[in-house]
Amino acid sequence: MDSVRKYFKILRISLVERLVYRADFFLTTFFRFLPLITTFLLWEAIYAGANKDDQADFEIATFTKDKMIAYLLLVQISRMFSSMPGLSTGIAREIRDGNLKKYLLQPIDMLTYLIAFRGAHKIAYIATTALPYALLFLLFHNVFDGFPGPLTLLAYFASLLLAFLIGFFFEACIGIAGFWFMEVTSLMYIINIFTFFVSGQMFPLELLEQYPYVTTVLDYLPFQYLAYFPAMVFLEKKQGVDLLFGLGVEACWAIALFLLSRWMYRLGLKHYSAFGG
Amino acid sequence: MTSVVRYTKLWLSLAKFSLLGEMAFRGNFLVKVVVELLWLGILLLFNFTVFQQTTNIADWNVNQYLFFIGCYFAMGGLIETLFLDNCNQFADLVRSGDLDFFLLRPIDEQFLVSCKHIDWSCAPNFLLGVCVMIYALWVSDWPFDGLKVFGFCVLFTSGAVLAYGFLLILTSASVWLMRNQSLFEMWWLFSMLMRYPREIFNGPWATPTGLFFSFVVPIMLVTNVPANVMIKSLEPWWLTWYALGSAVVVAWISRRIFKASLRRYRSASS
């Protein structure tokens, strides 16, 4: 019980810290909508260019224009949960600077501390962006065919929660690699760019269906579960066996990355010399 | 005139010094170049994937759009090489009070804050953008027109001035916000408006938004006007003059705002 209270306090303090620089926070939040708006408009133009006959149900890679906009909106929600800006570079910096020893000297586990800290950031972010996102969804409500059923919603929330865990432990693993590489910023840049494409943030992975071997490989990698998969669950494009298979693979990745991060951390501590600090 | 020569010499010395610093970490330099190559690769991949579904996007065909991407990439590379890293550090200078050391020097503060360091690792982006533009012209059998090339160079330069002005305004905001550690991210998000042809802003709410970001906050003119002049047409001619004029106005406004931000600076932490 004490342990839960301890990490809850960390969550509360992080939440307060996050809201100190409110103006900066709100300005950035406002700016975050710009790419979304331009992306919508770009896809409107793509559909207008492709659909010369002006067919009502014109599709590109099984997506009507409305479904595409809905997908791009939902991908934002997925990334709200799975993106972890600065996590890996932060861990690597603490290893390099020697500040990691604060976790070793206090009765606190680094990964559990960081997950509470990230949880707070996510709560603050979701709470403060809820209104603008609600307005955006309201503005584009006609691109959705209503709310999905309770079971789909349950699967959707499960996929989002697992996306958070995959995003967290994936970045934590890269940060922990700092025990051996010291600096992971460049590696993270490369991974971020790669993830941006293969997670389906740019467009639905169905657009790559002319390369079936690529999409098959992506099914078994963790990246699509960071953005594409939860969005597809909400749109009810993943149902039955597909849905269970996807959730299964996603859960396996969350567990595998959790175990990998703990194993790497233990191994890294043996290697750690606590220089600096 | 003497001050132009003095500042040019100073800038060249700073550029040389930055290059020496960059070359001390060659591995890092190479990784950064690889990152930018990857980013360009993804932009091009997106372009080709999309153009397999359509023949044009808002009246830009595949080659014209490719030229536009090259123009955007070159412009981004130029801004990142010359200014972005400097502006990104401004918030830290304000918060830590280290800006005092900049203000005490007998050099224009804006010059020192925004041009002190040249990020040579971003310079290849500019060259990559130019290569993409040349390739796009080559595959579209573009007939050489010296006047268009000259017009493009002038408008590309004015676009860079315009972008620098907006970046400086965002940078100055850190004095009021106390922290805009996310300036890099903010600039990336804001500059997203330079990434697409302005013709995509079409619709009941999109048209006014497009007009706003073309004529009130003319960030969209940064890449649209030079690319249009080079690969499409000079029409409408008044837009090119508007782009040139707005570069001057935004440069002037941004300097005023920067000066105002310095007056607001309280040197709190020093």
Residue B207 reports pLDDT greater than 90: yes
Residue A277 reports pLDDT greater than 60: no
Contact A28 B38 (CB under 8 A): no
- The answer to whether position A78 is within a domain reads yes
**Domains identified in chain A, total number:** 1
Give the per-residue pLDDT at A273. Answer: 74
Rounded to the nearest integer, the mean pLDDT of chain B is 88
Residue A140 reports pLDDT greater than 70: yes
Q: Does B211 touch chain A (CB under 8 A)?
A: no
Instruction: Report the C-alpha gap between B60 and B180 in whole angstroms.
Output: 36
Condensed to tens digits (0 to 9), the pLDDT of residues A82-127 reads 999 889 989 988 888 888 888 888 888 889 999 998 888 888 888 8
Residue A59's H or E segment, with its range, is strand A59-60
Condensed to tens digits (0 to 9), the pLDDT of residues B220-235 reads 999 999 999 998 876 6
Rounded to the nearest integer, the mean pLDDT of chain A is 87
- Sequence-ordered strand ranges (E) for chain B: 56-57, 60-61
Residue B171 reports pLDDT greater than 50: yes
Give the per-residue pLDDT at B270. Answer: 47
Residue B182 reports pLDDT greater than 70: no
- The answer to whether position A274 is within a domain reads no
Cβ-based contacts of B185 with chain A (< 8 Å): 28, 31
Radius of gyration of chain B (CA): 19
Residue B159 reports pLDDT greater than 50: yes
pLDDT (mean) for B13-31: 85
Strand partners, A59: A64
Cβ-based contacts of B52 with chain A (< 8 Å): 210
Which of A256, A271, A80 is CA-nearest to residue A176? A271
Residue A6 reports pLDDT greater than 80: no
- Which residue of B42, B189, B220 is the best one to mutate when testing the A interface, meaning the one whose CB has the most A CBs within 10 A? B189
Report the 10 Å Cβ neighbour count for A276. Answer: 12
Instruction: Report the C-alpha gap between A188 and A237 in whole angstroms.
Output: 31
Which of A27-31, B29-33, B181-185, B193-197 shows the lowest mean pLDDT across its residues?
B181-185
Residue B166 reports pLDDT greater than 90: yes
Highest mean pLDDT among A118-127, A131-140, A195-204, B30-39: A195-204
Residue A22 reports pLDDT greater than 70: no
Contacts A–B by Cβ distance under 8 A: 100
- ipTM for the predicted complex comes to 0.85
Q: Does A3 touch chain B (CB under 8 A)?
A: no
Q: At what angle do helices A150-176 and A87-97 cross, to 10 degrees?
A: 30
Give the per-residue pLDDT at A25. Answer: 67
Condensed to tens digits (0 to 9), the pLDDT of residues B36-48 reads 888 889 889 888 8
Contact A31 B195 (CB under 8 A): no
Could you tell me the residue range of the domain that residue A236 belongs to?
2-269
Residue A37 reports pLDDT greater than 70: yes
User: How sure is the predictor about B27, in pLDDT bands with cuts at 50, 70 and 90?
Assistant: confident
- The answer to whether position A9 is within a domain reads yes
Residue B236 reports pLDDT greater than 80: no
- The answer to whether position A13 is within a domain reads yes
User: How sure is the predictor about B213, in pLDDT bands with cuts at 50, 70 and 90?
Assistant: very high
Residue A217 reports pLDDT greater than 80: yes
**Closest chain A C-alpha to B28 CA, distance in angstroms:** 8
- The answer to whether position A169 is within a domain reads yes
- The answer to whether position A177 is within a domain reads yes
Residue B181 reports pLDDT greater than 60: no
- The answer to whether position A276 is within a domain reads no
Q: At what angle do helices B146-177 and A22-50 cross, to 10 degrees?
A: 150
Residue B268 reports pLDDT greater than 80: no
- Which residue of B42, B51, B170, B199 is the best one to mutate when testing the A interface, meaning the one whose CB has the most A CBs within 10 A? B42
User: How sure is the predictor about B151, in pLDDT bands with cuts at 50, 70 and 90?
Assistant: very high
Residue B134 reports pLDDT greater than 70: yes
Question: Which residue reads 């500042």 in tokens?
Answer: B7
Q: Which residue has the higher pLDDT, B173 or A171?
A: A171
Give the per-residue pLDDT at A19. Answer: 66
Peptide bond into B236 cis (omega under 30): yes
Residue A20 reports pLDDT greater than 80: no
Residue B180 reports pLDDT greater than 60: no
What percent of chain A is modeled with pLDDT above 90? 42
- The answer to whether position A131 is within a domain reads yes
Contact A27 B35 (CB under 8 A): no
pLDDT (mean) for A51-60: 84
**Using CB atoms, which residue from A38, A61, A208 is nearest to B193?**
A38
Contacts of A201 (CB under 8 A, 6+ apart): A75, A79, A195, A227, A228
Residue type, B123: A
Which of A72-76, A240-244, A264-268, B88-92 shows the lowest mean pLDDT across its residues?
B88-92
Q: Does B25 touch chain A (CB under 8 A)?
A: no
**Closest chain A C-alpha to B134 CA, distance in angstroms:** 24
pLDDT (mean) for B205-222: 93
Q: Residues of B numbered 108-147 whose beta carbons fall under 8 angstroms of chain A's beta carbons: which are they?
A: none
For residue B137, with 0-12 CB atoms within 10 Å meaning exposed, 13-18 middle and 19 or more buried, which class applies? buried
Q: Does B207 touch chain A (CB under 8 A)?
A: no
Contact A203 B46 (CB under 8 A): yes
pLDDT (mean) for A72-82: 93
pLDDT (mean) for A125-138: 84
Q: Does A234 touch chain B (CB under 8 A)?
A: no
What percent of chain B is modeled with pLDDT above 70? 96
